Amino acid sequence: MFKNTISNLGRIRQVVEVLVRYGFEDVVTSTALRRLVSSKRRLTWQHAERPVFETTRWERIRMIIEELGPTFIKLAQALSNRADLLPQPLIDEFEKLQSNVPPFPVALARQIIEQELGQPLENLFSDFEEVPLGSASIGQVHKAKLLTGEEVVVKVQRPDVQEKVCTDLSLLHELVRLTSGFLRKQGLANPEDIVDAFERSMTREMDYTSEARNLEQFRKLYEQYESFYIPKPFREVSTTKVLVIEFVAGCKITDKAQLLAWDLSPEKVAETGMDIYLTQIFEFGRFHADPHPGNVLVRPDGTIVLIDFGMVGKLTKQQKYAFAGVFIGMARQDARGMALSFRRLALTSDIPDMRAFESDLSDLIEDFSTLDVQDMSMSDLADALQEVIYKYKLQVPGAVFLILRALVILEGIGKVLHPRFNTFEFVRPYGARIIAEQYSPENILSEAEYTGTQLLALLQTFPADIRQIMRKVSRGDLRVKVELSGYLLLLRKADQLVSRTIIALLAVAFLLFSGLSLLGRYPTTMPYYRGLPGITWWGLGITAFLLLVLLILGTRRERKA
């Protein structure tokens, strides 16, 4: 841990300077980061006034993230989908973040491809365009043509991205360790877990074989669908740093003029796109998690194509039923049913006041039930649901927020193409279908089999567990472990009080000893100073030292307070 701190010291100082520049002195002065900056500098923080204070605190957090670079931007973009962790104003700022990264030289791209595939570029591609189609923080994309004639896109990872990401992840762990107490006071209960989850996500994103697997799985799921197409990955010429995918020609789904030029109905395209996405969620439980217009293409024959499968969301069967139950409860104006669905959906369902929770959901239902279908907005509903989740600190699966975000994006696309587009009209039949599936004889039988298996396993182990407990009781080996919480601060204060009392008693004892020493008769060898024997001066000196220690401890306690 100490070694990591030393290796990241320069970068940590840079982060501290950025925090101070944007008016976050409290983050530094209230955490272990203050040890990295001199006390002289701290005084200027407390009195300096900067124009940046004219902006809101949430805007300043976004400015800090932008200045710290791509890894921090990606973390903030990931957190923008987690309304259970962050307040809505901060999420709104994080959604403005764009990781605009210039492309790296094509010569480096060629070199990486040849190193990864172990062949000259001419042995792999008959054509390779030098100008990239796009560039991001992890890599960039070039159009090419295989020797067999297929047009492809080649994703090439940046040459130094793994080292930079590893350095920044190490830095993130160190920053969280130094500021964990402060972050918890701000309401962020598990900052270490957030960084761990982000590290796993970044590790998967830097491994292009993961995206290739996602493409293959979706192609298998939708191989019978004529209106939906997923590009083919070429695994034989792909590695962890290079991914070759079939090139698909088409226009953005929001290019209404091009759709009309191809004699396609924009309204029909919008409806098909929403049906495809809801099928992913409610039938397969696996969905493309980033359906912005650049990732959704339309072919001239009306086929919808999804590209960029680096981010994929997953729901288990039970999570799928619970998520559908939230919408069904809202449609039925059933706040209790909606609350129970939320509890089934949450990873931990510790809601201290269920009545207040149901009351808030009832208010939400009432707000939306008075609106006409044309006035209802998925964006407003997503914000309202996320506010409830944040207020009650519900730990729901991250996929839920990806779905809400995706539905908002799709609603925006739909309204560009379809003047009467309404997301709720599409969700309603899927909710009815989910209910039918949940209570179908096959699903009930499956649940009964699972419950029976669990019960049988319990019955098999129960006698052995009871025998083991009784054996320990008879031998007197049964131990009960009790953990108390909330008493550490009291014990620390009691320990401080006892220590100071002992020092005070010692000071009084040496003071009394010094007074009594004046009554003694000493040999002629005893030194005297100002008429007092040396032993008396020793007692007074020790008394003064102990009083000085008490004074320092008291001053230190006031400073901490």
Residues recognised as catalytic: 290
Give the DSSP H/E element, type plus range, for residue 413: helix 398-417
Joined tokens for residue 183 = 């972050």
CA–CA separation, 88 vs 441, rounded Å? 42
Give the DSSP H/E element, type plus range, for residue 52: none
| Alpha helices (runs of H) in 80-190, residue ranges in sequence order | 88-94, 106-117, 161-185
The phi and psi torsions of 547 (rounded to 5 degrees) equal -65, -35
Give the DSSP H/E element, type plus range, for residue 520: none
CA–CA separation, 391 vs 146, rounded Å? 54
Q: At what angle do helices 398-417 and 266-279 cross, to 10 degrees?
A: 170
Nearest to 423 by CA among 305, 254, 271: 271
DSSP state of 263: T
Residue 122, C-beta contacts closer than 8 angstroms, at least 6 positions apart: none
Cβ atoms < 10 Å from Cβ of 335: 20
CA distances from 367 to 339, 372, 381, 404 (A): 16, 11, 10, 19
CA distances from 522 to 378, 517, 528, 537 (A): 95, 10, 10, 14
Q: Name the percent of the chain in helix, strand, coil, to the closest 5.
A: 65, 10, 25
Joined tokens for residue 462 = 């129960």
CA distances from 61 to 90, 198, 233, 430, 558 (A): 8, 18, 39, 39, 31
DSSP state of 105: P
Joined tokens for residue 399 = 């996929």
CA–CA separation, 245 vs 425, rounded Å? 35
What number of CA atoms fall less than 13 Å from residue 212's CA on the CB side?
Answer: 21
Q: Is the CB of residue 426 less than 8 Å from the CB of residue 331? A: no
